[in-house]
Structure 1
Amino acid sequence: MEKLRGAWGAALGASLSPKRVAGAALQWLWMLMMFYSIVPYRFSSDVRGSLYMGLLISLVAMVVTMLFVAVIVRRERVGSNRSIVGGSAFMMSAGSVLAPFSDPTTPAGMLALGLSAVMTGTGSAVLFLCWIELESGLGGRVALVELAGSLCAAFAAGSVLIAGPTVPVVASIVVMPMLSAVLLRRCTASLPAASAPRESEQQLSRSTVALFVKALAGAVLIGVLMGFFDVVSGCKTYEVQDVYGTFLFLTGLAGALAICLIAVFLHRDGIFYSYRVSMLVLCLGCLFTPFMSDNNTYSSALIFGGYHCFVLVLCVVCIDVSSSFRVSPARAIGLGFVALYGGETAGSLFAHSLEATGASMFDLTLVTLVAVSLLLIAHLFLFTETDLIKIGIGEVSLVGAAAPSETPADEVADPVDPSVIIAERFSLSPRETDVLPLLLEGRTISRIQETLFISAGTVSTHIRHIYQKTGVDNRQELIDLAHETVEQAERGAAGEQGEAG
């Protein structure tokens, strides 16, 4: 216990906010109860039909909303607008009130289902984006701990609520968005000045755009897997017991808890180990597909847990994109989740298009091969760990961003070496001191690796340590620090010459 307390306090204890964790947990909990539990739809004559039809419509609404935000929002923070936050929470609550009247077998029930799904999808997309946007001002490491901790709390509470009486649970679901919005407003008001939005964005280079397109394509494939298995195992092909929801939540709790522990004890490389855990759990879920016919459908439960682990990773990746490449947080988050939710929508649509008949062992084997192949493609060629490194340290240059070597000749000839001064001021290790000047020259990871004869992983570790010690978030900020160091040294030298004269 002392070791846990020491690791928590040394790494993150002073930076964590119970208020932020509680507010985000309410948002997670509402989404879990509305989109993945039958509680709000128990009064319907077709319980699972209402749940999964509502989820599909909500996903479409979420994709449209996230895409709208990604296109429209450039610099301002969505969460700083009180009307937007309050309006999204109201839509979520109103949609929760309509959910018990949903019924796809009657015209009135179908109207209530459609209105509820559109309001819940639109409102939850905005409020969820606001919470991740708020976390973006804290840095990826703290955000991963807080988001994983809040998701753990949501899964734990959901495992209890899902077995509770319908009317009180639905009443609590209606209240959750309002409470979450109130906490969001209070947390936003207490934000430090350093987390204010950047004044302008810079145009991204082609290599940066290609990197983002690959990552988004990987997120699409993960979403497709989740959407397909969720619908097929939950309502389309097999009859499952009501305890299936509890089984999903407990699996999600185990995954979120694993990510939380990784973020605390392996905070320097937490995002990489979290990504590996999410891929491992997703792969196990795909391999368990032949056991899908059981009442608990182990395959979809594992995929559900791995999917939510990946959601946490994607949140941090969006935060890193915002900080490393000077992209608006709302835009980065919006594009990331357009890809994920768009893929989930596509997977759900494909699953709904299948006939509701039992699948043979050959069919399940074929599904297993396709699912594992898609997962390997996403992991090995699209959403790779190397791409995570590049995004995390901002390796890919921005259009118009010049390295110090491209400065005018009179400045290049200046004898002041900022690398030496920065290394002494921030107590860099000998190897970090070797990496620093190459980093300031604009060298990529592969070029630094070739120059120093070390592995790419070691290079990325040294770069992240340099960023942590110097207090910068990306390469451009490190270059700005070098320029400031040179200017300070020049002013100091000029002052000494003036005194001597």
Structure 2
Amino acid sequence: MDRIGQAWSTAKEALKSCAAETKWYYFGSSLLVAIVTLTHYANGYRATAIGLSYADIICVTSIAVATLALAGVDSHALDRLRKPILLTSSLVAALGFVFLRTATVALPELYDAALIVSAVSVGLLIGTVAIFWFGLFVGQAVETVAFSLLVSIAIGCLISWFLLGMFWDRLVVGYTAVILLSGWTLSHTLDKRPNLSEKRMSDEKPSFAFLAGPLLTAFLFSFAFMLSVSFVGLESWHSDVGWSMLWPAALVLGIVSLFSKRVNIASLLYIALTLVVAGMLFASFLHIDESFIFSLATMGCAVNISYLIILLCSLGTRFAFNPHKLAALLLVTIFGGCLLGRPVALAVDALDQSGTLKTLLSICLIVGIIACTLVSMNNRTIQLYSKYRFKQQGKPSEKSIGSSSFITSYATEQSLGAREREALSLLLEGKTASEVADSMFIARGTAKAHIRHIYRKLDVHDRDELFELMRDIDPGFETPQSG
């Protein structure tokens, strides 16, 4: 009972801490979750006149939007135009869905065209909302991003459950309202958000190449997800209980991010790996309940996407990455894997009557997923960020540079850069050069270079002189015991 009480106390503290940093309008992403769920329920598996399913066209359109963002569209121009872009895409998606409903009831001759128009408009909305939403969380604490993902999935499932219990006409009205609210909420949030440039902690701009491992892993996860649900029948996946396949992912995310101080965000990746591989094994080799396989695969995919969002938001904070392009890469990766999985599954079923090809493909895919995950985690930058531990709850350290306006002002006057001020803060907590490197997610040589620059700019030669200088600047400064 003591352990249960301690866990509950820890959870309440974590919730209070995260909620204090999370504004109500961050939960607009819940509407995006609901849109995806409701869209797949209503029309997901239906074939269009051009041979693609409704869901496939959504993926293609979202990939096209993401490709435009990657093709060099000016980030500042996107930010200036975000309100008309978001509101227009929301309005177009709502009108497209209403047009589809009208054609279904009164204009059957236009049904095929309406189905394509609706799918394209929803894909446009998902692509634009996802890209702008991602930028909102670059610069936020890891706990804030994790908590927002948790709430987004939970509230999105709740909205879906509520609307799917209604008659069709009420569903149309509710779904249209959700679409319009999603664009307005995100637009309002971005207007209230601090300038992203103020959140930048570094001007470092590493190549996108080091993201190849996580992105390739995400592609294989999405491909395996779609392959596994295709092997056991896509049509039954698009059901009125589709929302229930996401809430276990919210539970996993909540346990990892809120209920334990001993785990790090890499736990999400390993949980996702276990779920996706299990889903592939069950779908390929065992004849068990289809809904269980769907739930398992969906949980794995959702947990992996959550891990990637947290990881990329952290990288976007530390490095000079364009958040719109990071989000676009994520969209192309995930939707590309989903888009490829279905035709491959259909081709395997058509060509392989004995099941040998299906078995071989499943084994190769499982080996590839595990190998890519391990290779990705060997990248030092990714490894360090993935080992980020959710913060200890309680009062912040009083030795932090941020708690002393005297030290902060002096460091700024002496022309210390943002990374050097961060390194100084860690030095004043008594950390060694190695600990500074681990805390800042940089190489030890880089940390030592920052420390040399700090000593030179502050005209000191060692830690003792540094601490003595800090006591002169701020009489309230206390020398750390480890110093």
User: What is the TM-score normalised by the length of structure 1?
Assistant: 0.71
Match of 1:321 in 2: 315
1:122 corresponds, among 121, 124, 128, to: 124
**1:275: how far off?**
1.4
Q: Distance in 2 between matches of 1:157 and 1:356?
A: 38
Identity, % of aligned positions: 15
Match of 1:466 in 2: none
Do 1:290 and 1:361's aligned partners in 2 also have CA atoms closer than 8 Å?
A: no
Q: Distance in 1 between matches of 2:440 and 2:15?
A: 36
Do 1:321 and 1:392's aligned partners in 2 also have CA atoms closer than 8 Å?
A: no
Match of 1:166 in 2: 168
Deviation string, structure 1 residues 422-452 (Cα, Å, up to 9, x no partner): 4553x23xxx32415767999737x8xxxxx
Do 1:73 and 1:328's aligned partners in 2 also have CA atoms closer than 8 Å?
A: no
**CA 1:268 to 1:88, structure 2 compared with 1: closer, same or farther past 3 Å?**
farther
Deviation string, structure 1 residues 395-424 (Cα, Å, up to 9, x no partner): xxxxxxxxxxxxxxxxxxxxxx99996455
Matched, 1:14 2:20: yes
Match of 1:398 in 2: none
Match of 2:68 in 1: 68
**1:142: how far off?**
1.2
Q: Distance in 2 between matches of 1:351 and 1:420?
A: 51
Deviation string, structure 1 residues 458-499 (Cα, Å, up to 9, x no partner): xxxxxxxxxxxxxxxxx79x9778746753457998xx9xxx
Listed as ranges, the matches of 1:301-380 within 5 Å are 301-353=295-347, 365-366=359-360, 368-380=362-374
Match of 1:152 in 2: 154
Q: Distance in 2 between matches of 1:177 and 1:325?
A: 33
Q: How many residues align?
A: 421
Listed as ranges, the matches of 1:376-387 within 5 Å are 376-382=370-376
**1:164: how far off?**
2.9
**1:15: how far off?**
0.7
**1:223: how far off?**
1.9
Q: Distance in 2 between matches of 1:157 and 1:79?
A: 29
Deviation string, structure 1 residues 137-195 (Cα, Å, up to 9, x no partner): 31333112112221122123323433432221122111112212222222222223466
Q: Distance in 1 between matches of 2:302 and 2:64?
A: 21
**1:110: how far off?**
2.3
Deviation string, structure 1 residues 26-50 (Cα, Å, up to 9, x no partner): 111112211x31x357xxxxx6446
User: What root-mean-square deviation, in Å, do the aligned CA atoms of Structure 1 and Structure 2 show?
Assistant: 4.1
**1:76: how far off?**
2.6
**1:117: how far off?**
1.4
The residue identity in structure 2 corresponding to 1:25 is: S
**1:393: how far off?**
8.9
Do 1:282 and 1:306's aligned partners in 2 also have CA atoms closer than 8 Å?
A: yes
**CA 1:322 to 1:194, structure 2 compared with 1: closer, same or farther past 3 Å?**
closer
Do 1:76 and 1:197's aligned partners in 2 also have CA atoms closer than 8 Å?
A: no
**CA 1:6 to 1:197, structure 2 compared with 1: closer, same or farther past 3 Å?**
closer
The residue identity in structure 2 corresponding to 1:32 is: T
Q: Distance in 2 between matches of 1:141 and 1:199?
A: 18
The secondary structure found in structure 2 opposite 1:138 is coil
**CA 1:252 to 1:322, structure 2 compared with 1: closer, same or farther past 3 Å?**
same
Q: Distance in 2 between matches of 1:254 and 1:342?
A: 24
Q: Distance in 2 between matches of 1:13 and 1:418?
A: 28
Match of 1:407 in 2: none
Listed as ranges, the matches of 1:84-103 within 5 Å are 84-100=85-101, 101=103
Match of 1:183 in 2: 185
Deviation string, structure 1 residues 89-121 (Cα, Å, up to 9, x no partner): 123212322444479xx8732222221111111
Listed as ranges, the matches of 1:251-330 within 5 Å are 251-266=245-260, 269-290=263-284, 296-330=290-324
Deviation string, structure 1 residues 352-404 (Cα, Å, up to 9, x no partner): 4455799766666445424422322332234668663245699xxxxxxxxxx
**1:54: how far off?**
0.8
**CA 1:268 to 1:291, structure 2 compared with 1: closer, same or farther past 3 Å?**
same
The residue identity in structure 1 corresponding to 2:36 is: M
**CA 1:165 to 1:195, structure 2 compared with 1: closer, same or farther past 3 Å?**
farther
Do 2:228 and 2:279's aligned partners in 1 also have CA atoms closer than 8 Å?
A: no
Q: Distance in 1 between matches of 2:440 and 2:188?
A: 43
Matched, 1:4 2:5: no
Match of 1:28 in 2: 33
Q: Distance in 2 between matches of 1:485 and 1:185?
A: 45
Match of 1:403 in 2: none
Deviation string, structure 1 residues 27-84 (Cα, Å, up to 9, x no partner): 11112211x31x357xxxxx64469701111111111111211222454384552111
**CA 1:340 to 1:437, structure 2 compared with 1: closer, same or farther past 3 Å?**
closer
Q: Distance in 2 between matches of 1:250 and 1:284?
A: 19
Q: Distance in 1 between matches of 2:177 and 2:440?
A: 54
**CA 1:155 to 1:420, structure 2 compared with 1: closer, same or farther past 3 Å?**
closer
Q: Distance in 2 between matches of 1:66 and 1:419?
A: 34
Match of 2:410 in 1: none
Q: Distance in 2 between matches of 1:442 and 1:177?
A: 39
Q: Distance in 1 between matches of 2:449 and 2:77?
A: 27
The residue identity in structure 2 corresponding to 1:95 is: G
Q: Distance in 1 between matches of 2:381 and 2:426?
A: 27
Q: Distance in 2 between matches of 1:479 and 1:191?
A: 34
The residue identity in structure 2 corresponding to 1:318 is: L
Q: Give the gaps of 5 or more residues in structure 1.
A: 42-46, 395-416, 448-474, 497-501
The residue identity in structure 1 corresponding to 2:24 is: P
Q: Give the gaps of 5 or more residues in structure 2.
A: 1-7, 389-419, 461-465, 473-483
Do 2:18 and 2:144's aligned partners in 1 also have CA atoms closer than 8 Å?
A: yes
The secondary structure found in structure 1 opposite 2:98 is helix
Q: Distance in 2 between matches of 1:165 and 1:141?
A: 39
**CA 1:29 to 1:52, structure 2 compared with 1: closer, same or farther past 3 Å?**
farther
**1:133: how far off?**
1.1
Match of 1:228 in 2: 227
**1:273: how far off?**
1.3
Do 1:149 and 1:260's aligned partners in 2 also have CA atoms closer than 8 Å?
A: no
Do 1:421 and 1:485's aligned partners in 2 also have CA atoms closer than 8 Å?
A: no
The secondary structure found in structure 2 opposite 1:288 is helix
Q: Distance in 2 between matches of 1:142 and 1:54?
A: 34
Do 1:74 and 1:328's aligned partners in 2 also have CA atoms closer than 8 Å?
A: no
**CA 1:185 to 1:302, structure 2 compared with 1: closer, same or farther past 3 Å?**
same
Do 1:201 and 1:328's aligned partners in 2 also have CA atoms closer than 8 Å?
A: no
The secondary structure found in structure 2 opposite 1:72 is coil
The residue identity in structure 2 corresponding to 1:26 is: L
